[in-house]
Each structure stands twice: as structure tokens, then as C-alpha cells.
Structure 1
Amino acid sequence: MNKVVLVGRLTKDPTLIFAQGTGNAVCKFTVAVNRRFKKEGQPETDFLPVTVFGKTGEATANYMVKGSQVGISGSVQTSTYMKDNVKMYKTEVIADEVDFLDSKGKGESSGQNNSNNANNSFDSNSDITPIDDSDIPF
């Protein structure tokens, strides 16, 4: 089984290209993922290249920026190529799903007090109707 699930932050804005001939969207970015077990001092981080295809790739490129936190589900793929008569190895994550977890890179920072997010107030024109928790039988 080849399955990987990651949560991390983008190290720079994603790049989006369209494959020649087919026109399929190809989005590439690098995600920084902290290791679970840390040594004393600074936590160790891995920087993993990720590729996303199709509509998911387009959405990722359009809505995610450097610093955005993402959840990725996909598989690990390795390949080899020759460079100056030396065999080079490449390992990357091919993402099937990308979940947008937050948008820290879009001007928000964890230290700002954002009253709109904290209050979650509803407008009278909203399609969401708040309910009274005392009406729930469990």
C-alpha cells in the first residue's frame, strides 16, 4: 500500500502550469512538515515536494499562498534521471486530495485578534439558522 497523509505549511506560492497538448493543470509546491519526534531545541522539519493535477491543482494554486496550512492525501512516487552522467533520484508526493486548513499567508497571523471569526455572528439574510442547544435530546 502506498498512502501518505500530511499536514503542513506551504513554503512558497504554488506554481501552476498547463501540460502542452493535453492542457491538464499541474500544480507544484513544497510543504513543510514537522517531524513527530523532536530532539531538544528546534523541531526538525521536512520539506516535501507535492504535485497536484486537474481541478484540485487549479484550486490549490488559486487559493493557497506561502504560509497556508494544508492537509494532503496521496501517494509517494520516485523517479530517476541522468544529469551530467550521474543518476539522480527524485521523490515527491502525488496528491489526490488537498484540504485547505487555514490561510495564514493571506494577511492573517496567529497573533491578530480577529473579532469577526471569534463572534461568528449571523446576519438576518443568512441561510444558516442558529438553534438552541437545549432543544437537542442528547
Structure 2
Amino acid sequence: MQDRAVATRHTILAAAAEVIIERGYGGASISLITAQAGVAAGAVYFHFRSKEGIAHALLDLDLLEGLPPCRGPVLQQWIDLALLLACRLDADPKVRAAPYLAALADSQDGWTSPWLTWRATVARPLYAAAHEGELQTHVQPTPSPSC
């Protein structure tokens, strides 16, 4: 994809996330998204088939985007991931909108909740840290059943 197309797609996703955060998924419309993004409806439909397609793109969020390569103890990767997510939740509307949309996934036909994948991504460094002996013996990385 050309740089301009990538930038337009990013702009549309950020605008859609802002509209969804402000109005909810049901209150978001392609016309509101195009107005927020400052693009024509044709640009939105070039990248996405529908509002649902935009939601799926937001749900496919890469939690590891921007994570620096792990240096030092494996547990440091988990700490880095937690700090990255906290910063991205504060600064990136796409990251803020994704958990909201994930919570809707169970009630939407054809949507797959990313919670299990996200939880596995966050837990992976903890399992590696346990394997490397970086966790105290009483610390178990296995999530509780309520998670």
C-alpha cells in the first residue's frame, strides 16, 4: 500500500475510534467518521466495506506495536508492555476504542472477541519469566478463572 493510502487508513481508524468513544458504536456512522477524518466517503469505502469492517480493524489491534526489543531480563518485556499499553491508552484513540468494541463482540454476529488473544499476549512474557526463574516461586502466571 502506498504511503498516502496507509496514512489515510490510519486517519480513518483514528477518527472512527474517536467517534465510537464519543457516541458509542451504535451512534457512529460513516458520515460522522468521514467528517471527523476529513475524507470523502469513497476513501472510507476504499479501505473498509462498512462500519463493521472498521470495527474489525480496530479489534485487530497489534498490542505489541511500538514495543522495543527485549533487553535484559524477560520480566522487563512484561513491564515494557504494561508501560506501552498505558501510554497508548492515554494517547491513541484506537487503543481506547478497542476494549469497548471487544466488550460488544459477544453481542455482535460474526465478531470474534480479541480478549483471549490479548490476554495471551500480555501473559506470554510472564510465562517466559517463570520459565527463566525470574518470578518468585509463589507467583503463578496462570490467570484466575474470573479473568
Same fold (TM over 0.5): no
More strand by share: 1
Please state which band the TM-score falls in when normalised by the shorter chain: under 0.3
- TM-score normalised per structure 2: 0.23
Q: TM-score normalized by structure 1?
A: 0.24
